[in-house]
Structure 1
Amino acid sequence: MTRIAAGLLVIAGLYLAQSVLIPIAIAILLSFLLAPVADGLERFYLPRIASVILVGVLSLTLITGVASLLVTQAYEVADSLPKYRQNIEERMRFFTGDEPGGVIDKATKTIKKARKEVADENKRKQQQQAAAESDAEPADDGPLSVVIHDPPPTGLDLLRTYAGTILGPVGQAALVFLFVIFMLFQREDLRDRLIRLMGPDRLDVATGAIDDAGSRISRYLLMQLIINVTYGLPVAIGLWLFGLPGALLWGLLAALLRFIPFLGPWLAASMPIVLSLAVFEGWYWPLGVIGLFVALELFSNNVVEPWLYGSSTGLSPMGVILAVVFWSALWGLVGLAVAIPLTVCLVVAGRYLPQFEFFTILLSRDPALTSAERFYQRLLAGDQEEAEDLAHDHLERHGLMSLYDRVMVPALHLAERNRHAGQLSADKVQSILEVMTAIVEDMGERQERTLDSHKPGDSPPSTNNDYVVLCLPARDAADELTAIMFAQVLRATGVTVETGSMRALSGEVVARVDATATALVCVSALPPGAVSHARYLCLRLASHDASLPILVGLWDVTGNLERMSARLTEAGANQVVTTFEDGVDRVRRRLSSLARISD
């Protein structure tokens, strides 16, 4: 409840202080966009103050030039409209239903006639009721009506009204410009102060978060600028070829309005389309203008934006929608324009600071669950079919070793951890093991069919077939299942492998080692309790034959691996690995060295 109250308080503060926070937010975004330009000027040995002033002057010149061009073009369009008065009147008659003889005209007349009949009937009833009341009551002159007229506004009133309307945006723009200049001039100092706020003992985390957010926002703004220019330029050229008045105006507006997500492109397209209906006779050219915007939108959304954006923002599609809705509801049209960059900052903060992890989970493009967690969740839900689909899909895309290393072994580890914590019933554990065993057996059958499909003349994938590797479980069913998985991965590389059972007694295990002339023993152990279980088996094997090579697989283990390896080495283990990939590499190296010695 405390966090919810704090969140509501922050939202209220953002809303109430928007007159100050909006200029700061816009200034921060412009600083991200202009900082690389200032850095580039400083590389040419310009002093900091000179580079910042030059960037500010160039920015003001560009903004003033674009604004004056927009105003000039708007006046030209307004001056040209009287030439199309007749066509505009015809369009208005068509859309308002005033065109005689048409379907709209007939429907409009029918509706008007029905409304007139109803109005006449109501008026007749009111007159009858009023006449009856006047006969029943004596005449009364009633009160006199008084009308108050406001005096015409004076020049001072007009100045006060229009000055407030004009000076408000001008003052906001001046405040933004002032913030941008100071942020560019003291950008390193502001960065250091922000790092200090996160804590002096978290310099690495704070530096990573600031660098990540800065690079993502700078790239987003730069790519957005490139996309908007490559969109507005074809709009201006296309409308000029169509002969639409103010083609340059509509191209500039199209480029500027696309900074506003979702709403901007619609606004950019609606104005030229409406003007084309007023200017051109017939429907051919207006449909051509509509087709131009549709084609450019499709090309920009499906080709240019995926190519330039990539994953620069790190936001999911749902995250973009939520960001736009939230910030537009909070700050209006300005919030709509700054929604994406501000949300990117929150998502990046969640990657480095646990307090903001909520935003990363909810809004980022990253999967909410890993492949192993999704697989385990399906097992918990009893959805065997979807769990098998996930396993087979990962197998086709990444192979058997990746399936076991990244999906099934970590999922089995999660199940074992929950079992030891008492969070899973015995029936649920048994159900999970049965499903995973069925998937592993299916993988084994696929492997056998693949090996049988090789022709006798085909060369084997490995030359280590003369040596036998014995995979043994350290203790329980989970260890046995991982031993079978590791054996399948080894067999896929051409290694001759045999597996042991968790039900075998220690004496039976030792006897089997002697009977198979084992070149290497792989002890498979899964946390929790992996080290103690594997250590006990290593002691039994080493006490029987101290020269026996033992490889211990502590699958998906976390913690102090060096300390664990030391304990297992004392018990007789030669090597310790944590992944199937590393284990296969160690086994192949061992067998290759044995092959060279025998040669």
Structure 2
Amino acid sequence: MTPNPVPRRPASKVLPPEAPGIRALLSLVTGVVVICALYFGRAVLIPIILAVLLSFLVAPFVDLLRRLKLGQVPSVILAVLVALSVLTAVGALIGAQVAQLAGDLPRYQVAVERKISAVQEKTVGRADAFLGKAATALKRISPSRQEEIRKSQENQTASPIDAPMPVEVHEPSPSPVELAQRFLSPVISPLETTGIVLVVAIFILLQREDLRDRLIRLFGSRDLHRATTAMDEAARRLSRYFLAQLGINMGVGIVISIGLAIIGVPGALLFGVLTGLLRFVPYVGTWIAALLAVVFAAAVGPGWAMMIWTIALFGVTDVVAGQVVEPMLYGHSTGLSPFAVIVAAIFWSWIWGPIGLVLSTPLTLCLVILGRHVDRLEFLDVLFGDRPALTPAENFYQRLLANDPDEALVQAETLLKERSLSAYYDEVALEGLRIAHQDVLRGVVTADQLKRINESAMDIVEGLEEVEDVVMAARPEEEPPASLEMSDSEAGIVHETPPAHFDAVKEGHTSSVLCIAGRGVLDDLAATIAVQLFRKHGLGADLAPYERFSRTRFDDVDLTGVSLICVISFDAAESPPYLRNLLRRLHQRAGTADLIVGLVVPDSALEGEAVIRKTSAATSFKELVEACVAAARRQSTDGVSWEGLNPEDPEPAAGAANAKAPPVVPVLRGA
């Protein structure tokens, strides 16, 4: 007996439409779980994170010792001992400074009381005088009520029955164990955390390669190249960033200590160390230390000069360190947007307290680097990274939609400092217009938006009329910021060169390039850009719309003497019939002219057409200009262009090869 077949699930129910919502919900739940784990597991996670960051700082020193043939284990132990010695020295210095300030406070008591009295006279004294005047006025207004209050108070003092009895509370004397616990608990907790950090850091340094392989096996075994690149990139750049930041913070702390000592502020070393530590908190860390130093200088100084000099010292030091030293060491940015830094500081300080505030930038930087290499975590790079959220082409198109050509021109001026005008048109304008062309084909662009796009783009092209097609400022190759990788264009590395310039008068070519725009809604705009580039490279150029070359009006066109024809259209990729027919008619009427089709997408359907094999195809404005310049030079040498001729057409008359084309602009009879 044959068993019954197992019923199959219909294919239409395999992927329900609620799947994206479920994935979003799972992502939200995962985020909440991670945040809860960070909050409730901070006692375990903080020492581990500190150990990882300490290993990043010590790793270069360990590598140096290993290169000196000291061995792996001795190198790690020696490096950790050096780090421990530095931490102990810093802690001892802070303790000594605090003890010294506590012992010297009686010396500053007179100055502090004098300053407090002066401040009270200017604030509280005036408030008391105002309140006294108000009380006098109230007494004058209601004397009867004041008399009632006085009699009521006399009656309450006359009856001692309801008076409260004094009560005293005496605590028992603490035992020796309680005394020891009370005094040792503040010391044991930091020592315990320090010991855990050192032990974990030692094992991380000893087993760096093994831990790396295990993490790759756990998270990136399917793509070893990406996982290895991400981990090596993160380790190298984070280590260099931390070392550079530590060096800068130490330098700032030393400068602050020396400056405060010269000014005469007590505890200069303490404030210098606090500045160096708090400077790990971006933007506000320096000024937290500055606030403490300024308040102390204002309290203990005989006048206000000490406070003013302290403010000036912190301001100048912070500007020099942030605007001069840091860009020289690891670029103009850490790789985080300013908004992300502030949000990260608030988040990590809420999760982990003051330690989280200090670690906010390194931890967020790790997340951003992780988002650069893991597709599912790319949102971290978008939210917290300092790279533009939109590409230049997308930003160009967005500005056209918003009818804001002024900002697009500002963007163009910035980009033209590192690239030529033709490169800007190809990389930004052309790509942005191709995005617009796709939106037009999808039917999502309204008539009003299309009108704004054309008007704004024409304003941008007109605004770039005076710009030469040259690289304005080519900067040598430089190292990207320590935290994140950058492309050549972001780092200011210029490799492209603009098309060659053509001198029509000197080279004997006097005819213009006839630019024919397609009938697409953006083709006139692309042809206008091409005409501008032709003229900047010494070629005469005339622009004609498609309507003058349509099938019904083509007989009225006089192409006598035309030697260069350029057809520009975004429709070249789709190979529409009207464009193929236009090219066929141009071949028949101007067989001796060089015909070039612009803005053809590579591997498009139009490239395989028989009519295209008789022409030159250009995928960008730069290739378009180069093709026209090459054709013009060839024509100035040969007298006539032999490329693009139909093999079935009769050969030109004798001497035609040496006859130069007359300077005739196409005449449109009846137009």
Name the TM tier (shorter chain).
Answer: 0.7 to 0.9
Contact 2:550 2:582 survives alignment (8 Å): no
Match of 2:529 among 485, 491, 504: 485
Given the alignment of the two structures, is residue 53 of structure 1 paired with residue 90 of structure 2, yes or no? no
Contact 2:511 2:563 survives alignment (8 Å): yes
Amino acid at match of 1:250: F
Distance 2:571 2:354 in 1: 54
Given the alignment of the two structures, is residue 516 of structure 1 paired with residue 561 of structure 2, yes or no? yes
* 1:105-141 deviation per Cα after TM superposition (whole angstroms, max 9, x unaligned): 74365478689999xx999849839969x99xxx999
Given the alignment of the two structures, is residue 151 of structure 1 paired with residue 196 of structure 2, yes or no? no
Q: Report the CA distance shift for 1:260/1:589 in structure 2 as closer, same or farther (over 3 A).
A: same
Q: Write out aligned runs for 1:366-405 (5 A).
A: 366-383=387-404, 400-405=421-426
Contact 2:515 2:566 survives alignment (8 Å): yes
* 1:387-415 deviation per Cα after TM superposition (whole angstroms, max 9, x unaligned): 67766887799664345324433332222
SS of the aligned residue for 2:222 comes to helix
Contact 2:278 2:358 survives alignment (8 Å): no
Match of 2:310 among 286, 289, 302: 289
SS of the aligned residue for 1:152 comes to coil
Given the alignment of the two structures, is residue 11 of structure 1 paired with residue 55 of structure 2, yes or no? no
Segments of 5+ residues of structure 1 without an aligned counterpart are 448-457
Using the TM superposition, give the Cα deviation of residue 56 of structure 1 relative to its aligned residue in structure 2, in angstroms: 0.8
Contact 2:503 2:538 survives alignment (8 Å): no
Amino acid at match of 1:524: I
Q: Report the CA distance shift for 1:94/1:421 in structure 2 as closer, same or farther (over 3 A).
A: same
Given the alignment of the two structures, is residue 311 of structure 1 paired with residue 332 of structure 2, yes or no? yes
Greater alpha carbon shift after TM alignment, 327-336 vs 340-349: 340-349
Contact 1:462 1:494 survives alignment (8 Å): no
Match of 1:552 among 570, 577, 597: 597
Equivalent in the alignment of 2:622: 581
Using the TM superposition, give the Cα deviation of residue 144 of structure 1 relative to its aligned residue in structure 2, in angstroms: 9.8
* Number of residues of Structure 1 aligned to a counterpart in Structure 2: 576
Using the TM superposition, give the Cα deviation of residue 337 of structure 1 relative to its aligned residue in structure 2, in angstroms: 0.9
Using the TM superposition, give the Cα deviation of residue 417 of structure 1 relative to its aligned residue in structure 2, in angstroms: 0.9
Using the TM superposition, give the Cα deviation of residue 566 of structure 1 relative to its aligned residue in structure 2, in angstroms: 5.5
Using the TM superposition, give the Cα deviation of residue 199 of structure 1 relative to its aligned residue in structure 2, in angstroms: 3.0
Q: Report the CA distance shift for 1:205/1:562 in structure 2 as closer, same or farther (over 3 A).
A: farther
Using the TM superposition, give the Cα deviation of residue 256 of structure 1 relative to its aligned residue in structure 2, in angstroms: 2.3
Amino acid at match of 2:446: S
Match of 1:226 among 209, 234, 247: 247
Greater alpha carbon shift after TM alignment, 103-112 vs 275-284: 103-112
Amino acid at match of 1:358: F
SS of the aligned residue for 1:200 comes to coil
Q: Report the CA distance shift for 1:321/1:142 in structure 2 as closer, same or farther (over 3 A).
A: closer
Q: Report the CA distance shift for 1:252/1:441 in structure 2 as closer, same or farther (over 3 A).
A: closer
Contact 2:465 2:532 survives alignment (8 Å): yes
Match of 2:210 among 179, 183, 189: 189
Match of 2:55 among 31, 37, 45: 31
Given the alignment of the two structures, is residue 332 of structure 1 paired with residue 342 of structure 2, yes or no? no
Segments of 5+ residues of structure 2 without an aligned counterpart are 1-23, 139-144, 469-501, 640-657, 659-671
Q: Write out aligned runs for 1:77-92 (5 A).
A: 77-92=101-116
Using the TM superposition, give the Cα deviation of residue 18 of structure 1 relative to its aligned residue in structure 2, in angstroms: 1.5
Contact 1:235 1:292 survives alignment (8 Å): yes
Equivalent in the alignment of 2:441: 420
Contact 2:61 2:79 survives alignment (8 Å): yes
Q: Write out aligned runs for 1:21-170 (5 A).
A: 21-95=45-119, 97=120, 102-103=121-122, 106-107=125-126, 110=129, 125=149, 128=152, 149-170=170-191
Distance 1:313 1:56 in 2: 27
Using the TM superposition, give the Cα deviation of residue 59 of structure 1 relative to its aligned residue in structure 2, in angstroms: 0.8
Q: Report the CA distance shift for 1:412/1:140 in structure 2 as closer, same or farther (over 3 A).
A: same
Equivalent in the alignment of 2:378: 357
Distance 2:216 2:147 in 1: 76
Contact 1:350 1:360 survives alignment (8 Å): yes
Contact 1:538 1:568 survives alignment (8 Å): no
Per the normalisation by structure 2, the TM-score is: 0.73
Distance 2:396 2:582 in 1: 31
Given the alignment of the two structures, is residue 572 of structure 1 paired with residue 613 of structure 2, yes or no? yes
Equivalent in the alignment of 2:482: none
Equivalent in the alignment of 2:514: 470
Q: Report the CA distance shift for 1:508/1:306 in structure 2 as closer, same or farther (over 3 A).
A: same
Contact 2:405 2:459 survives alignment (8 Å): no
Q: Report the CA distance shift for 1:323/1:107 in structure 2 as closer, same or farther (over 3 A).
A: same
Contact 1:261 1:336 survives alignment (8 Å): no
* 1:528-571 deviation per Cα after TM superposition (whole angstroms, max 9, x unaligned): 8444566665566567788865433336x4xxx34658525784
Q: Report the CA distance shift for 1:4/1:528 in structure 2 as closer, same or farther (over 3 A).
A: farther
Contact 2:509 2:633 survives alignment (8 Å): no
Given the alignment of the two structures, is residue 495 of structure 1 paired with residue 539 of structure 2, yes or no? yes
Greater alpha carbon shift after TM alignment, 465-474 vs 17-26: 465-474
Per the normalisation by structure 1, the TM-score is: 0.81
Distance 1:88 1:314 in 2: 44
Using the TM superposition, give the Cα deviation of residue 495 of structure 1 relative to its aligned residue in structure 2, in angstroms: 1.6
Using the TM superposition, give the Cα deviation of residue 494 of structure 1 relative to its aligned residue in structure 2, in angstroms: 0.9
Given the alignment of the two structures, is residue 348 of structure 1 paired with residue 369 of structure 2, yes or no? yes
Given the alignment of the two structures, is residue 408 of structure 1 paired with residue 429 of structure 2, yes or no? yes
* 1:357-416 deviation per Cα after TM superposition (whole angstroms, max 9, x unaligned): 322223222222334333322333345666677668877996643453244333322222
Greater alpha carbon shift after TM alignment, 55-64 vs 280-289: 280-289
SS of the aligned residue for 2:302 comes to coil
Equivalent in the alignment of 2:570: 526
Pairwise CA RMSD: 4.2
Contact 2:278 2:289 survives alignment (8 Å): yes
Greater alpha carbon shift after TM alignment, 107-116 vs 307-316: 107-116
* 1:9-40 deviation per Cα after TM superposition (whole angstroms, max 9, x unaligned): 22222212212222222222222222222222
Amino acid at match of 1:518: S
Contact 1:473 1:483 survives alignment (8 Å): yes
Distance 1:53 1:122 in 2: 80
Contact 1:477 1:502 survives alignment (8 Å): no
Match of 2:235 among 214, 220, 224: 214
Amino acid at match of 1:567: G
Contact 1:565 1:576 survives alignment (8 Å): no
Match of 1:251 among 272, 282, 286: 272
Distance 2:623 2:240 in 1: 38
Given the alignment of the two structures, is residue 172 of structure 1 paired with residue 193 of structure 2, yes or no? yes
Match of 2:453 among 432, 435, 438: 432
Contact 1:315 1:363 survives alignment (8 Å): yes
Contact 1:37 1:55 survives alignment (8 Å): yes
Q: Report the CA distance shift for 1:385/1:265 in structure 2 as closer, same or farther (over 3 A).
A: closer
Which structure features the higher share of helix residues? 1
